């Protein structure tokens, strides 16, 4: 069983050398009497939180850090090889929390979901039909209270979460602008995902001016994935009674000291609502979310862009890539093709 281990807590930008590959021989069996499920891992999801959990930084109310020397973990899609749990049978396709390894013995089967619909790509259960999809759905519908005709800004808009938020906002009839870190992503946001406008934040000298250019009348809703300077500029451009769904702060994760936000008083001046949320508090909405999202995908109302690489060995580079803008859509690694 090949697996990727965290060497030590990561400090600063992640490097491929922060992880190392080991091989161990294991018996492909569920221990007698246990309710564990043994899964052959087919796909792994690469997400920013794997970095957060690999640092020593305290995360009160969030998830604990991975211990140095332990196997990396994320959501994965797999095939059940053997099951000690009555809800799962040999041959079932499942998604849930797996290790970054070829075979995972899952001792918490309550975190596994059986895949009922396999007419869509299985990797979608790590993206549009999985945790990032639910994040976009919950963040947009529970926190943004969007109405037709409102203006919406999304940072990191071509990512796993952002690309969906933009499409949900378009389905609601909003005017939608996204930011991303390359011209290629900007073009795809406008030409493939239906955003009204998009810009490359790396090319902009003054983000306040940029937002004023795109939102001359101000922003009603911001779905923020990035924090830092972008959030500061957003605060200056929000309309009265605007809403900010605070999903992530990826520009801050690798810094020793988070940047200060200068324009916080705008929250008061403009009576803004800024709310953070963690998607795992909303897993009870999964059935409702699937009922909504599956038809949207089948009818082509929602499209989803994935960036797929192959082999367990490519996971470290994939994680590093999330922090230098190189993923072109939801990052997924194929571990095995059965
Ligand atoms: P993405 O697929 O968007 O990948 C990360 C992207 O972040 C990169 O592609 C890059 O895109 C952007 N980025 C990286 N470094 C920086 C930087 N210094 N400044 C600005 N942008 C940067 O990831 P996800 O869609 O999976 O996640 C998006 C955000 O949502 C993250 O902050 C994540 O932590 C958060 N999240 C929160 C959840 C919750 O429950 N609250 C659940 C899931 C995700 P670009 O080309 O734009 O630079």
DSSP 192: T
Confidence of residue 336 (pLDDT cuts 50, 70, 90): very high
Q: What CA–CA distance (Å, rounded) separates 269 from 240?
A: 8
Q: What is the DSSP string of 47-59?
A: -HHHHHTTS----
Instruction: Yes or no: say if 307 and 332 are a contact pair by the CB < 8 Å rule.
Output: yes
This prediction's pTM:
0.96
In the prediction, which pLDDT does 17 show? Answer: 97
- Nearest CA, atom 48, ligand 1: 181
Measure 249 CA to ligand 1 centroid, in angstroms. Answer: 7
CB neighbourhood size of 98 (10 A): 28
pLDDT tens for 25-80 read 999 999 999 999 999 999 999 999 999 999 998 888 888 899 999 999 999 999 99
For residue 200, give both structure tokens.
Answer: 């490359």
Ligand 1 residue neighbourhood (C-beta within 6 Å) = 47-49, 132, 135, 156, 159-162, 180-182, 185, 225-226, 247-251, 277-279, 322-323, 325, 327, 330
DSSP 69-132: TSBPEEEEEEEEEEESSTT--TT-EEEEEEESBSEEEES-GGGEEE----SS-GGGGGTTTSHH
- CB of 92 within 8 A of CB of 272? no
In this predicted model, what pLDDT tens digit does every residue of 168-191 receive, in sequence order? 999 999 999 999 999 999 999 999
The SS3 call for residue 197 is strand
**Per-residue pLDDT for 282 more than 90?**
yes
Mutation test residue for ligand 1: of 248, 255, 258, the one with most atoms within 8 Å of CB: 248
d(CA 178, CA 78): 33
CA 335 centroid distance within chain: 19
pLDDT(5) > 90: yes
Integer CA distances (angstroms), 129 to 141, 207, 260, in order: 16, 33, 35
Domains and CATH numbers, the chain: 2-126+306-334 (3.90.180.10), 131-280 (3.40.50.720)
Mutate to test the pocket of ligand 1, among 55, 126, 159, 233 (most ligand atoms within 8 A of CB): 159
Total residues found in the chain within this entry: 338
13-23: average pLDDT: 97
Q: pLDDT, tens digit, for every residue of 69-121?
A: 999 999 999 999 999 999 999 999 999 999 999 999 999 888 899 999 989 99
The mean predicted confidence, pLDDT, of the chain is: 96
Kindly give the distance from the C-alpha atom of residue 48 to the centroid of ligand 1, in angstroms, as a whole number.
6
**Residues whose CB falls within 8 Å of the CB of residue 295, separated by 6 or more in sequence, listed in order:** 301
Measure the CA–CA gap between 36 and 122, rounded to whole angstroms.
Answer: 22
């Amino acid at each position: 069983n090949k697996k990727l281990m965290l060497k030590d807590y990561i400090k600063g930008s992640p490097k491929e050398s922060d992880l190392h590959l080991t091989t161990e021989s294991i018996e492909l069996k569920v221990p007698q009497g246990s309710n564990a499920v043994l899964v052959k891992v087919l796909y792994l999801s690469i997400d920013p939180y794997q970095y957060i959990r690999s640092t020593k930084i305290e995360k009160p109310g969030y998830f604990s850090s991975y211990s140095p020397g332990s196997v990396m973990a994320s959501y994965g899609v797999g095939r059940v090889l053997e099951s000690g749990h009555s809800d799962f049978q040999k041959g079932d396709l499942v998604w849930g929390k797996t290790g970054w390894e070829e075979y995972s013995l899952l001792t918490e089967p309550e975190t596994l979901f059986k895949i009922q619909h396999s007419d869509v790509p299985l990797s979608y259960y790590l993206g549009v039909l999985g945790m990032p999809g639910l994040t976009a759905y919950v963040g947009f519908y529970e926190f943004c209270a969007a109405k037709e005709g409102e203006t919406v800004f999304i940072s990191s808009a071509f990512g796993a979460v952002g690309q969906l938020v933009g499409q949900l906002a378009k389905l609601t009839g909003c005017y939608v602008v996204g930011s991303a870190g390359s011209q290629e992503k900007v073009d795809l946001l406008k030409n493939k995902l239906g955003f009204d406008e998009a810009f490359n934040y790396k090319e902009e000298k003054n983000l306040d001016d940029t937002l004023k250019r795109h939102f001359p009348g101000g922003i009603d809703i911001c779905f923020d994935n990035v924090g830092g300077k972008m959030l500061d500029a957003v605060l200056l451009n929000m309309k009265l009674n605007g809403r900010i769904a605070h999903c992530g702060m990826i520009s801050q994760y690798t810094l020793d000291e988070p940047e200060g936000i200068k324009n916080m008083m705008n929250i008061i001046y403009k009576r803004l609502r800024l709310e953070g949320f963690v998607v795992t508090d909303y897993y009870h909405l999964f059935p409702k979310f699937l009922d909504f999202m599956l038809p949207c995908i089948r009818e082509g109302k929602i499209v989803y862009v994935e960036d797929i690489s192959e082999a367990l060995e490519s996971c470290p580079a994939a994680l590093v890539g999330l922090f230098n803008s190189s993923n072109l859509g939801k990052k997924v690694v194929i571990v095995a093709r059965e």
